[in-house]
Amino acid sequence: MKTAALRDAARILGKFYTEILPRVLGVGRPDGGHGTRTRTVLSTVGPVEITRAYVVNGDGERSFPLDDAIGLVGGCTPAAAGLACWAGAQSASYDLAGAALSRLAGLAVPGRRVQRLVNLCAEDAAAWAAKRKREDHAGGILNIQADMTGIPMRKEALAGRRGQQPDGSAKTAQVYLGCVFTQHGCDPEGHPIRDHESTTSVSSLDSIDQFGPLLRREALRRGMGTAGQVVLLIDGAAGLEHMGRDCFKEATQIVDFFHAMEHAGTVLEALIGKDHPDSKARLTSEVIRQRVF
C-alpha cells in the first residue's frame, strides 16, 4: 500500500512540475525556447518524470530554466537531496545511509549517489558560509560548543598515523567539531532555550591550533563581538581548555554535564571509596540536586 501511495504521489507531483509550476514561475515558455525534454528526478516520494522547456544560448549550450528555478541538485529536488545528506550524516557509511533511505522513506538511493550528493551540497554550503555577513547579537547569549572524536577513514588516508591498534596503526582520524547558536531566553524552569534554527557548525581534520581560529571566525560571524555574554561548552579536555583561553578568553567556560558528572564521580570515589554502599546514591541524587561538580 505504501509503494502504491508513493507511486501515485510521484505521478501527481510530476504533473504539477510539468503543467502548473512552470506557469507559476514564468518559465513555461522561456525566451529563446527550442523545445522540451523529459527527465527523471528523485523527489521525497520517489522518481518523478518532468517535462520542461529548454533554451540554447549563442554558444550552443543548452539550459533548463525550470531546473534552475526548482533548485535541482544532482538530479534531486532540494528536499530529496537534503534527506539524502541527512541520512549520510547520521549513518556509519554511505551504503548504510542508502539502506536507511530505502527502509524508512522508500527511496532507492545507492550509497555512491548519497556520497555524490553530500559532496555537491557540501560545496554549496561552503560557498554560502564564506559569503555570510556578520550578525548583530547585541544583548543576547552566544553559545559555542566544541569537541573531538574519531571518524573511520580509508587505509591510504591513515598511512603514518599512530593509533590504538595492537600494531600501533589507526583505524580512525581525529576530527574537531564545533557549533555556534544563539539564545535570548529561558523556559519557566530556567533552562536556556536555543533560538530556532540558529545553529551553525564547523569541523576540521587539522590540529586544534588550526581548529580554534576556525571556530572563532564562525563565532565572530554569528555576533560574538556584540553578544551580551559568550559561553563556551566543552568536555574539560586540556587541548580544548587551552583553545578556549587562546581563542575565547572573554567567554565563560562550562564543562558539559556528562563529563562534569564523571569528574564528580572521581572525587566521590576518592572521598568515600568506590565500594561504599552510598556512593551510587550520592552521585545520582545529591550531586545532581545540588549541582556540585
**Contacts for 18-24 with beta carbons within 8 Å, 24 or more apart?**
18/49, 18/50, 18/51, 18/52, 21/66, 21/69, 21/70, 22/52, 22/53, 22/66
Closest to 86 (Cα-Cα) out of 203, 42, 94: 94
Question: Can you say whether residue 101 is alpha, beta or left, with left for phi > 0 and alpha for psi between -120 and 50 degrees?
Answer: alpha
Please give the pLDDT value at position 168.
Answer: 67
Determine which helix (DSSP H) or strand (DSSP E) holds 179, and give its type and residue range. strand 172-186
Please give the pLDDT value at position 283.
Answer: 64
Determine which helix (DSSP H) or strand (DSSP E) holds 65, and give its type and residue range. helix 65-70
Angle (CA) 6-7-9 rounded to 5° is 60
**Which grid coordinates belong to 257?**
554535564
pTM for this model (two decimals)? 0.71
The 10 Å Cβ neighbour count of residue 175 is 16
Q: Digits of tens for pLDDT over the chain (293 positions)?
A: 888 899 999 999 999 999 999 999 988 888 777 789 999 999 999 999 999 999 988 788 889 999 999 999 999 999 999 999 999 999 989 999 999 999 999 999 999 999 999 999 998 888 888 888 888 888 889 999 999 998 888 888 787 777 767 776 778 888 999 999 998 878 888 887 899 989 999 999 999 999 999 999 999 999 999 999 999 999 988 999 999 999 999 999 998 877 777 777 777 778 777 777 776 666 665 454 454 44
Angle (CA) 125-131-133 rounded to 5° is 120
Please give the pLDDT value at position 282.
Answer: 66
Contact 251, 233 (CB under 8 A): no
Please give the pLDDT value at position 209.
Answer: 95
